[in-house]
């Protein structure tokens, strides 16, 4: 039998638009002679709906749209993911639509409640398998987390299933596909059943979903691999104990992450209906990468760049910003900040009298730039995309209401060392960033001869400590035991701890690691805990 894998990009709460996407997938499946079309987890509502699920009107509108879908194509079986309400109880569900009706419904049995997941806040658990017949074969529906445990797969096999069907909305992070291969391969080995993994694709606030649907034959070998970060309706053949389909080529880690960033900013802008984006182009590598991603995601005509030089901005920074804008084809302008900064300093001269200059005067420059960016955003409706990276967000090497100003922090989960890797990868696909921007020592250019390493440890060390402490929850002593200077480790951990109040005010941005500063980082601002003290 032929099965259509609807790897589609839906939007939270856009029931009419989501149903239209599902109908388009059904049309493609029917035209291709498929007997079954499968959509991802919560495809009809979008994922994750969060507290919208607590509204009866949200769930009821979804139910009405599901009923309309059921009558759309009575000649083909369709599996649709959706929330289901029974009184005050809600389930993460999947319905089998066939013959113009809802023939069967499955309730997710294992609800993730860790990292970015809060499903136990919203859903009750199911406890029964759902095995249906199509094309003369018996197929079991499961939903995402179900197959991270042995019980639902064993239960489905006991009910006579010949194929495990897993519908998913599994947020991307680095190496996530390898994790899925391992876990799904374990279920195949246990049951000796083939498995089809159907996955959502697209961006939702800070989460991105990579698609990359796949199938394993019953012997555990890969029979189908969908594209990564690409919407598609793929056809697979299910014959005997084998599932065969197209095989998308593997991507490098840099290309996968770059596609994740493109998807995140594109969907945030498109789904929230911004006409374009605005990037403060500094001549540094962070803003260069952000501009390149935005131009690739939205087109250069919707990516606007402004250079805001100060007295400390090097001539090469202005030259490189102009060259970048030309290489990318961006609309580009320059606004000197000196007159505004001098006006601020004049107003503050009396209260600051007799006090030495410090970071306050540096931050005035950054806050002037933030104000100008937000003024342009207000006037033209553009979304300001801020350019701070994860290394800076971790240590507070950023200015509140200055370079942190904006509506989307595109690279907030990308450490500095990875910024360089991504910039080099993008240039390998076609030069858009002057090599001097990548090669020069990074600097905020807020005082004479400033470099980042005046304040921070070398990024190779800083990023390693941030990854181990923040993403892996390692104790500072254990990190130092790996060969890192104990005082440097203590200093980095201290900076992470005391800058929580800044991060709480930062915009959302694409999550590309197993733990980002956002939905899955929930540390209190006020805390007496001193790790490594």
The verdict on whether 41 is a catalytic residue reads: yes
533 pLDDT tier (thresholds 50, 70, 90): low
The verdict on whether 294 is a catalytic residue reads: no
Q: How far apart are CA 248 and CA 158, in angstroms?
A: 33
- Residue 464 belongs to some domain of the structure: no
Looking at the 3D structure of the chain, how many domains does it have?
2
pLDDT of residue 531: 86
Average pLDDT over residues 141-167: 97
Please check whether residues 115 and 222 belong to one and the same domain.
yes
Could you give the count of Cα atoms lying within 13 Å of 50 in the half-sphere of its Cβ?
7
Please check whether residues 232 and 356 belong to one and the same domain.
no
Where in the sequence is the domain holding 109, given as residue range(s)?
Answer: 2-250
Q: How far apart are CA 219 and CA 532, in angstroms?
A: 49
Q: What is the pLDDT of residues 3-31, one digit of tens each?
A: 999 999 999 999 999 999 999 999 999 99
Cβ atoms < 10 Å from Cβ of 394: 26
Q: How far apart are CA 167 and CA 144, in angstroms?
A: 6
Higher pLDDT, 441 or 264: 264
pLDDT of residue 64: 96
Please check whether residues 271 and 229 belong to one and the same domain.
no
The single residue of 108, 412, 416, 519 carrying the catalytic annotation is: 108
447 pLDDT tier (thresholds 50, 70, 90): low
Please give the torsion angle defined by the CA atoms of residues 24, 29, 32 and 36, in that order, rounded to the nearest 10 degrees: -170
The single residue of 41, 145, 362, 471 carrying the catalytic annotation is: 41
For residue 515, is pLDDT > 80?
yes
Secondary structure class of 215 (helix, strand, coil)? strand
Cβ atoms < 10 Å from Cβ of 525: 11
| Pairing assessment for the beta strands 242-244 and 232-239 based on DSSP bridges | antiparallel
The single residue of 62, 144, 206, 392 carrying the catalytic annotation is: 144
Mention every residue, 6+ apart, whose C-beta is less than 8 A from residue 524: 500
For the chain, give the mean pLDDT: 95
Please check whether residues 268 and 349 belong to one and the same domain.
yes
CATH number for position 152: 3.60.110.10
Please check whether residues 289 and 431 belong to one and the same domain.
yes
User: Which of 250, 274, 305 is the endpoint of a domain?
Assistant: 250
The verdict on whether 144 is a catalytic residue reads: yes
From the list 298, 501, 515, the residue with the least C-alpha distance to 385 is 298
Sign for the CA dihedral angle at 47, 50, 53, 58 comes to negative
Please check whether residues 219 and 300 belong to one and the same domain.
no
- Residue 74 belongs to some domain of the structure: yes
For residue 449, is pLDDT > 80?
no
- Residue 376 belongs to some domain of the structure: yes
Sign for the CA dihedral angle at 468, 471, 476, 478 comes to negative
Please check whether residues 195 and 259 belong to one and the same domain.
no
- Residue 516 belongs to some domain of the structure: no
CATH number for position 274: 3.40.50.620
Average pLDDT over residues 501-526: 93
Please check whether residues 171 and 270 belong to one and the same domain.
no
Secondary structure class of 369 (helix, strand, coil)? helix
Mention every residue, 6+ apart, whose C-beta is less than 8 A from residue 347: none
From the list 357, 332, 511, 351, the residue with the least C-alpha distance to 448 is 357
- Residue 285 belongs to some domain of the structure: yes
DSSP summary character for residue 351: T
Cβ atoms < 10 Å from Cβ of 516: 26
Please check whether residues 231 and 289 belong to one and the same domain.
no
Residue with tokens 């600051």: 352
For residue 463, is pLDDT > 70?
yes
Please check whether residues 179 and 47 belong to one and the same domain.
yes
- Residue 331 belongs to some domain of the structure: yes
User: Which of 232, 250, 268 is the endpoint of a domain?
Assistant: 250
pLDDT of residue 530: 87
Please check whether residues 319 and 383 belong to one and the same domain.
yes
Mention every residue, 6+ apart, whose C-beta is less than 8 A from residue 250: none
Average pLDDT over residues 457-462: 92
Q: How far apart are CA 370 and CA 401, in angstroms?
A: 6
Query: Which CA distances in Å does 68 have to 46, 61, 249?
Result: 17, 11, 38
Q: How far apart are CA 471 and CA 514, in angstroms?
A: 7
Q: How far apart are CA 395 and CA 469, in angstroms?
A: 12
Q: What is the pLDDT of residues 237-296, one digit of tens each?
A: 999 999 999 999 999 999 999 999 999 999 999 999 999 999 999 989 999 999 999 999
Please check whether residues 400 and 334 belong to one and the same domain.
yes
* 386 touches 409 (CB < 8 A): yes
Average pLDDT over residues 313-335: 93
- Residue 219 belongs to some domain of the structure: yes
User: Which of 196, 231, 250 is the endpoint of a domain?
Assistant: 250
From the list 180, 183, 146, 186, the residue with the least C-alpha distance to 166 is 146
CA 106 to chain CA centroid, Å, is: 28
pLDDT of residue 532: 73
Residue with tokens 């509506």: 407
**117 φ, ψ (degrees, to nearest 5):** -95, 140
Q: How far apart are CA 387 and CA 236, in angstroms?
A: 41
């Amino acid at each position: 039998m032929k099965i259509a894998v609807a790897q589609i990009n839906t939007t939270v709460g856009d029931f009419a638009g989501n149903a239209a996407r599902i109908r388009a997938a059904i049309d493609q499946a029917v035209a291709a002679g498929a007997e079954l079309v499968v959509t991802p987890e919560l495809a009809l509502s979008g994922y994750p709906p969060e507290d919208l699920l607590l509204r009866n009107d949200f769930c009821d509108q979804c139910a009405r749209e599901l009923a309309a879908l059921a009558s759309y194509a009575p000649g083909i079986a369709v599996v649709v993911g959706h929330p289901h309400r029974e009184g005050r109880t809600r389930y993460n569900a999947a319905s089998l639509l066939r013959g113009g009706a809802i023939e069967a419904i499955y309730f997710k049995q294992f609800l993730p409640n860790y990292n970015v997941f809060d499903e136990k806040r919203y859903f009750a658990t199911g406890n029964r398998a759902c095995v249906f017949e199509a094309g003369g074969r018996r197929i079991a529906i499961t939903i995402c987390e179900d197959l991270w445990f042995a019980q639902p797969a064993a239960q489905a096999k006991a009910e006579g299933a010949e194929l495990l069907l897993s519908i998913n909305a599994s947020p991307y992070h680095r190496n996530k596909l390898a994790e899925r291969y391992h876990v799904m391969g374990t279920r195949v080995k246990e049951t000796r059943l083939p498995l089809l993994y159907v996955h959502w694709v697209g961006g939702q606030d800070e989460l991105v979903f990579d698609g990359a649907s796949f199938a394993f034959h019953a012997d555990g070998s890969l029979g189908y691999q969908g594209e990564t970060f690409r919407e598609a309706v793929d056809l697979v053949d299910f014959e005997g104990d084998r599932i065969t389909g197209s095989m998308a080529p593997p991507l490098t880690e840099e290309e996968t992450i770059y596609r994740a960033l493109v998807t995140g900013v594109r969907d945030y802008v498109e789904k929230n209906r911004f006409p374009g984006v605005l990037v403060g182009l500094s001549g540094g590598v962070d803003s260069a990468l952000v501009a390149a991603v935005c131009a690739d995601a939205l087109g250069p005509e919707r990516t606007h760049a402004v250079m805001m030089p100060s007295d400390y901005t090097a001539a090469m920074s202005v030259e490189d910003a102009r060259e970048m804008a030309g290489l990318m084809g961006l609309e580009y302008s320059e606004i000197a900040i000196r007159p505004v900064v001098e006006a601020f300093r004049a107003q503050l001269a009396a209260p600051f009298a007799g006090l030495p200059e410090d970071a306050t005067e540096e931050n005035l420059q950054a806050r002037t730039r933030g104000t100008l960016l937000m003024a342009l955003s207000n006037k033209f409706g553009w979304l300001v995309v801020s350019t701070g990276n994860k290394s800076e967000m971790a240590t507070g090497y950023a200015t509140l209401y200055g370079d942190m100003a904006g509506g989307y922090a595109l690279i907030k989960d990308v450490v500095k060392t990875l910024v360089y890797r991504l910039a080099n990868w993008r240039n390998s696909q076609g030069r858009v960033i002057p090599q001097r921007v990548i090669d020069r020592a990074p600097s905020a250019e807020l005082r004479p001869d400033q470099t980042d390493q005046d304040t921070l440890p070398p990024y190779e060390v800083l990023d390693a400590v941030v990854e181990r402490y923040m993403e892996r929850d390692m104790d500072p002593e254990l990190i130092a035991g790996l060969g890192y200077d104990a005082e440097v480790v203590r200093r980095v951990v201290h900076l992470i701890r005391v800058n929580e109040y800044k991060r709480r005010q930062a915009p959302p941005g694409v999550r590309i690691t197993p733990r980002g500063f956002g939905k899955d980082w929930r540390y209190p601002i006020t805390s007496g805990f001193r790790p490594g003290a």
